[in-house]
Structure 1
Amino acid sequence: MSLSKLVLRSMKKNMKHYYLYFFALIFSVTLYFSFVTLQYNTEVWKAVQLSGTATAGFKVATYILYFIVLFFVLYANHLFMKRRSKEIGLYQLIGMTKGLIVRLLAIENVVLFVGAVLIGMLLGFFSSRVFAMVLLRVLEKEMLVTMTFSTQALQQSMVVFAILLMIVLIQMAWMIHRVSLLSLFSATKQADERVRRFSPFQMTVGFLGLMLIGYGYYASTKLFNMEEANNLFLNMLIILITTIGGTFLVFRFSVAFIMNTIRLNKKGHLSVRDVLALTPIMHRMKSNAKSLTLITVLTGVSLGITTLSYIAYYSAETSAYSEVPGDFILLDNDGEAFLKALDENKIAYDKTDYRLQGVSAAIGQLMSEEQKDSPLYTMEGIIYTIPLSDYQQIVPDTSLKDRDVILTNYGGYMAEMFPLEKDRDIVTSIGKSEETFRVVDIQKHSLISGIVTAGGGGPVFVVTDEMFNHLVATSEQVMQQHIISLKSMKEYPWHQQTTITLKSKEDLTKAEELYIQTGTNRLTVTDSSGSTYQYKKLSYEMQRKDSVESLGLTIFITAFLGLAFLMTTGSILYFKQMSEAEEERDSYTILRKIGFTERDIMKGIYMKQAFNFGVPLVIGLLHSYFAVKSGWFLFGTELTAPLWIAMSCYIALYTIFAILSVGYYRRVVRESL
């Protein structure tokens, strides 16, 4: 028989095994080719106006995606070779050399790869349009996406998958040459390990795994505390090592120990559900510990990165409002032409004026004693004050007396990293004149533009009108006496902010045009020393769109990679369960012959699948939750909604894989008799 006929017969005989591997190849090619095709879609990138940094980020994402595809295909090929181990052993028994077997399987792999690449590229070409539409939707761009075939994407994908084919062939040849004939016939049994008794050492190590994870979670909550800031990298490394190491120990020792304890407590009275659920999990845990640890860590990392990116994107509106707390911001009556244009075009608006007076103060005076090592603890900066009557335009019921002040406009990552305490005194100064205030309340309301506070989230003091007038008079006196150098006065040049809020959002487009036409979007400031400073003043909508465009591509790339990680880990779990189902087929045949029904057997399988998919998912969710919780405030202002949305997507997709796995087990059970 010729080698080509042997290949055809072998592929026909192994069709039930090939479809799993073939699906893995098609999925990998589709995912990669659609992403690369999108990268070379010039029409999309013209609309997006991609920056150099974003282009580099997209290329890096392509390499990461290739690593995911490589990992996925190599694992699928390893599993496929393991399921064909007996067949390879029979080939050797009938006299075929290992070299001839390698040639046989190499031809099969080449045929599979060619077919998978062709189908995958076709599916990837069509799916790239869907991803392009999603990207433009995320970036809030309106345009018609056309089907564009990229020869660059085709060439890159062909080279990439040719390299992948070579790696797969090397893996296959290495697996065949390194194993003995006897091990080929027992390869499918290697996952089973009889665990008769647990030593105190194993119990201790299993408990240590739980303690390591707990310590990693606790340390993550303290990661950005000021007293730990000097050892940030070391602390991050410790958290990573303890969490991953603890996860492995939990899967390697803790789970098997718990399952064995439950079994022993039943004193030999095991139901068929116990036999099909507890025992297989316990016996396979040694060999599955590494893969489950890897899957859990990948799930946690991908979910954490996706969640942080989504937090930044989700918080775009809030972040923009902290910079521009109104539709338009005017400073020191610089927008008279703009207001006149609004009136001429009959655009109705509300106007709120805030008088401003800067003082020098060290905000660290309001920090706790534990944060005394913070650089802000003794660093003085400019804090603007506004009179109570202006603040009452927003919060009418507010009242103050004497030297009481309300600290407001303080939010975002500053409020999370440097929390302040109320009912404390703070000393401020203008020149050599000092005033002591009592902070009676701390609020996060955004009132003053980020231009004034040198970035959104800067604190603002609300003082009584009498005190505000006193501060203004003091400032004028200092200027006259030159107690402060004229050059330093540029640090607080603002004296008034006017917030413009349109009554109808339908007028926003026209108002933005007038805002630019009148030149109000650009501000030139000259300080007392004659130095000139240029400021670009964006409207709220302009600021929000800038944030969406800068963060939209990030959330798209991370979500795409997160989907790839999720599909990879979910598919690996699914493939493992399919393999185990085939290995346990003989056991189901015996159970069916002695009278157990399909329903009896499926009860144990339900429990087993709940563990195999549920435990890695739950631990992965916990890992990502504590990772996100430790530093989410550096990325945005909203945590709960983005976190729950991302977690819900992961739970839903894992549930789908679990349902597919249960369905495959049901089919195996039905066919076992």
Structure 2
Amino acid sequence: MKLSQLVFRSMQKNIKHYYLYFFALIFSVVLFFSFETLQYNPSVIEATAASGTATSGFEAASYMLYVIVLIFVLYANHLFMRRRSKEIGLYQLIGMTKGLVIRLIALENIMLLVGAVLVGMVVGLLSSRLFAMILLKVLQFDAVVAMTFSKEAVLHTAIMFSVLLVIILLQMAWIVRRSTLLHLFNVSKQADERVKSFSSWQMVLGAIGIAFIVYGYYKSTILFEDPMELLNNMLIILAATIGGTFLVFRFSVAFVFNIIRMSKKGHLKLADVLALTPIMHRMKENSKSLTLITVLTAVSLAITTLSYISYYSSETDAAIETPGDYVAVNGREEAFLRELDALNVPYDLKTTRIATGEIESSAFLSEDVIQYLNEDRSEVMIVPLSDYKHLAPDVELASNEIVVTSYSGFMSSSMPIEEGTETKLYIGDEAMPIKVKHINDDTLLTWRVTAGGPVLVVPDELYLRFEQLDVERAIFTQTAITLKNDEHQQQIEQLYKTTGADVLNEDGDKLNSLIATQQENLNLYGTTIFVTAFLGLAFLLATGSILYFKQMSEADEEMASYTVMRKIGFTEQEILRGIMYKQLFNFGVPLIVGLLHSYFAVKSGWFLFGNEMATPLLVTMGLYISMYTIFALLTIRYYKNVIHQSL
């Protein structure tokens, strides 16, 4: 028999093991090739030109995807080699040298990967237009998208996956070369860990693992309370949660299951035998893979959620940054308003007087931050109460009371202040005692004026004193213009620029209209959510496939046990019920722990990315739960076939 015939027969025999692996490879190639092609699509280049980072974003996504594929393929290949250990041993028993066995398996891998790359590139080429249309839809950009063929994308994809093939072949050759015949025939029979009574130190380590995770969660809730220790706290949280997760899977889970097993005093049901015992036997090896899968799930879910929060909040963020359809300062809106009148465009005006003052830094900042900045005072924007009345007509202030507004997001977390706080407001060297009456997140001034800082609303009498005493600092006005209809929108956008109404200062800095700000946000966040969503899908496919392949291997190894159970009278349904409990652990526990990790990660800093957490978080979690459920059902179906074939 020729080597090629042997390769085809071997692949035909193992096709049931390879089909999901082959599909995952094709999907990865499709994504990689599509990201590469998008960099050269004229419609995409035009739509993302404003962001200035789309091309580099696609390139970075391609490399991140490549790392995901590399980890997935190496792990899957290791599982396949373990599963085929007896087959490899038989090849050597009948006289095949290790070199010939390596050539045989190498040809299989070459055919699989080359086939996946060719199919993936064809599908990627056909679907690249669809990917571009999805991206432009996310960006709300109207354009006719043509199918684009890029030689650069083809060449880059071929090179990257050729390197991947070389790595796979080296891994395979290493495994075959270092394996003895005895090891090959016994690898599937070796128990990972004998089930025995747990020592006190194992119980302590399990408890420490839980404590680490809880501590990591707690630290995440106070992450921004001390900005000076932000990096250190992030590293502590990362180490605590990852280390705690490993200890929980390595010791806590097996310890709990051992208690459950011992509490039954030998009266184990079939479901207990099929679920508890295999998990406990394999916990030492599985703890590493379950930790990896849990962490990858948490990271990908957190990144996807934060990206979705940014995209979901893009319009409301624009409204927070720009308090009207158009904003002008220091009377530069006059020519613009004359043009609006000439076009008979109705509008509303809200003019706000603005002064700058200084407030004691201790009212907003911690002592460590004040010492680091070496500043006892912080500059703030001040507006009179009468100009604030259009937002809050019922607010009244005593002579020493103020309202802190535009106070939300990162500001409210890193610079905490409470109602009733008493501090001092400075004009030059003159200090005036003030008391914070109200705090809110109303948008009064454009972000380009406040630079994201809070705005103080003071009584008119106090503001007049600023006007009288503040001779060095800039006193200016902001006019917010809100259109009553959107006719002549494009013409008005152009007039806003040509009349000079968008000029912020003498240095030539410019203001943006509300629509322009929304479009900038869409360009940035739309590209980000597009990339992270597909990367998250690749993460899901990789982690779910790893779990699935691992369970396939365990099912094949346990087939003899199912044969014995069926011979002594247990039905397929009874055996399958125990398998379902086992899969509930294998897929459910990493998912639940991963969801918890991602929830606390997102909750610690979601306000940096937008103003709505619940909906994006629930949507992404729902998608991840659905995907894990699909993989669990595929695994149960495979076990069902193995149980059926066991007798």
> Common fold, TM-score beyond 0.5?
yes
Residue 190 of structure 2 is aligned to residue 190 of structure 1: yes
Secondary structure class of the residue paired with 1:437? strand
2:419 maps to what in 1?
A: 422
Contact 2:28 2:69 in 1 (8 A): yes
Q: How far apart are 1:562 and its partner, in Å? A: 1.8
- Distance in 2 (CA, whole Å) between partners of 1:93 and 1:335 is 89
AA aligned opposite 2:76 = A
Q: For 2:251 and 2:293, how far apart are their aligned partners in 1? A: 17
Q: Aligned equivalents of 1:224 and 1:649: distance in 2?
A: 29
- C-alpha offsets along residues 258-282 of structure 1, whole Å, 9 cap, x if unaligned? 1111111111111111111111111
User: d(CA) in 1 for partners of 2:364 and 2:171?
Assistant: 62
In the alignment, is residue 502 of structure 1 matched against residue 494 of structure 2?
no
- Cα distance in 1 for residues equivalent to 2:370 and 2:64: 42
Task: State the secondary structure of the residue aligned to 1:522.
Answer: coil
Measure the CA separation in 2 of the matches of 1:570 and 1:511: 52
Cα offset, 1:178, TM superposition = 0.7
Name the aligned partner's letter for residue 330 of structure 1. Answer: A
Amino acid at match of 2:200: P
Structure-1 separation of matches of 2:104 and 2:213? 47
- Which residue pairs with 1:482 in the alignment? none
Aligned to 2:316, which of 315, 318, 321? Answer: 318
Normalised by the length of structure 2, the TM-score is 0.94
- One-letter identity of the residue aligned with 1:436: P
Moved more, 320-329 or 50-59: 50-59
1:349: which partner in 2? 347
* Structure 2: distance between partners of 1:117 and 1:451: 49
Unpaired segments of 5 or more residues in structure 2? none
Equivalent position to 2:432, from 424, 430, 435: 435
**Stretch deviating more after TM superposition (315-324 or 297-306):** 315-324
Query: Quick one: structure 1 residues 279 and 377, their matched pair in 2 at CA, closer, same or farther if it must change by over 3 Å?
Result: farther
Q: Deviation of residue 369 (structure 1)?
A: 7.3
Q: Is 1:295 aligned with 2:290?
A: no
Q: Bigger shift: 355-364 or 613-622?
A: 355-364
The 8 Å contact of residues 359 and 385 in structure 1, kept in 2 or not, is answered as: no
Please state how far the C-alpha of 1:618 moved relative to its aligned partner. 1.2
Change (3 A) 1:186 1:28: farther
Aligned pair count reads 647
| Cα distance change, pair 401–269 in 1 and its aligned pair in 2 (3 A) | same
Match of 2:606 among 632, 640, 649: 632
Aligned to 1:511, which of 478, 492, 495? 492
Query: Residue 380 of structure 1: which of 356, 378, 397 is its match?
Result: 378
Secondary structure of the residue that 1:189 maps to in structure 2?
A: coil
Tell me the amino acid that sits aligned with residue 630 of structure 1.
Answer: S
CA separation of 1:439 and 1:119: change in aligned 2, threshold 3 A: same
1:110-156 deviation digits (Å, cap 9, x = unpaired): 22222222212222222322222222122221112222121111111
**Is the Cα–Cα contact under 8 Å of residues 413 and 636 in structure 1 kept in the other structure?**
no
Judged with a 3 Å threshold, the aligned counterparts in structure 2 of structure 1 residues 52 and 406 are, in CA distance, closer, same or farther, namely closer
1:389 aligned partner? 386
Of stretches 575-584 and 369-378 in structure 1, the one that deviates more from structure 2 is: 369-378
Question: Which residue identity is paired with 2:84?
Answer: R
Question: Given that residues 328 and 503 in structure 2 are in contact (C-alpha distance below 8 angstroms), is that contact kept between their aligned partners in structure 1?
Answer: no
For 1:190, give the aligned amino acid. Answer: Q
Match of 1:591 in 2: 565
1:668 equivalent in structure 2: 642
Query: Residue 443 of structure 1 aligns to which amino acid in structure 2?
Result: N
Equivalent pair of 1:405/1:438 in contact (CA under 8 Å): yes
- Paired residue secondary structure (1:435): strand
Residue 615 of structure 1, aligned match among 589, 596, 617: 589
Residue in structure 2 matching 1:472, options 467, 472, 476: 467
Report the equivalent of 2:77: 77
- Deviation digits for residues 526-546 of structure 1 (CA, Å, limit 9, x no counterpart): xxxxxx432301111111211
Aligned residue identity for 1:536 = K
**Deviation of 1:303 (Å):** 1.6
Matched residue of 1:352: which SS? strand
SS in 2 for 1:407: strand
Deviation of 1:633 (Å): 2.7
Answer yes or no: is 1:645 the counterpart of 2:640: no
Q: Deviations over 1:607-635 (max 9, x none)?
A: 11111111111111222222222233333
Contact 2:24-2:542 at 8 Å conserved across structures: no
Which secondary structure does the structure 1 equivalent of 2:628 belong to?
helix
**Could you tell me the percent identity over the aligned residues?**
55
The reply on whether 1:546 has 2:492 as its aligned counterpart is no
| CA contact 1:366–1:421 (8 Å) conserved in 2 | no
Alpha-carbon distance between aligned partners in 2 of 1:202 and 1:582, rounded to the nearest angstrom: 31
Contact 1:605 1:662 in 2 (8 A): yes
**Contact 2:404–2:454 (8 Å) recurs in 1:** yes
Shift of 1:366: 5.0
| CA drift at 1:41 | 2.4
The answer on whether the counterparts of 2:314 and 2:610 sit within 8 Å (CA) in structure 1 is yes
> Where do residues 213-612 of structure 1 align in structure 2 (5 Å cutoff)?
213-226=213-226, 229-365=227-363, 375=373, 378-386=376-384, 388-453=385-450, 455-456=451-452, 458-475=453-470, 479=471, 488-489=472-473, 492-494=474-476, 496-506=477-487, 508-523=489-504, 525=505, 532-612=506-586
What is the alpha-carbon distance in structure 2 between the residues aligned to residue 398 and residue 72 of structure 1?
Answer: 60
Supply the distance in 1 between the matched residues of 2:530 and 2:215 (Cα, whole angstroms): 33
| Contact 2:420-2:437 at 8 Å conserved across structures | yes
Question: Per-residue deviation at 1:52?
Answer: 5.8
Shift of 1:69: 1.1
Q: What letter corresponds to residue 519 of structure 1 in structure 2? A: G
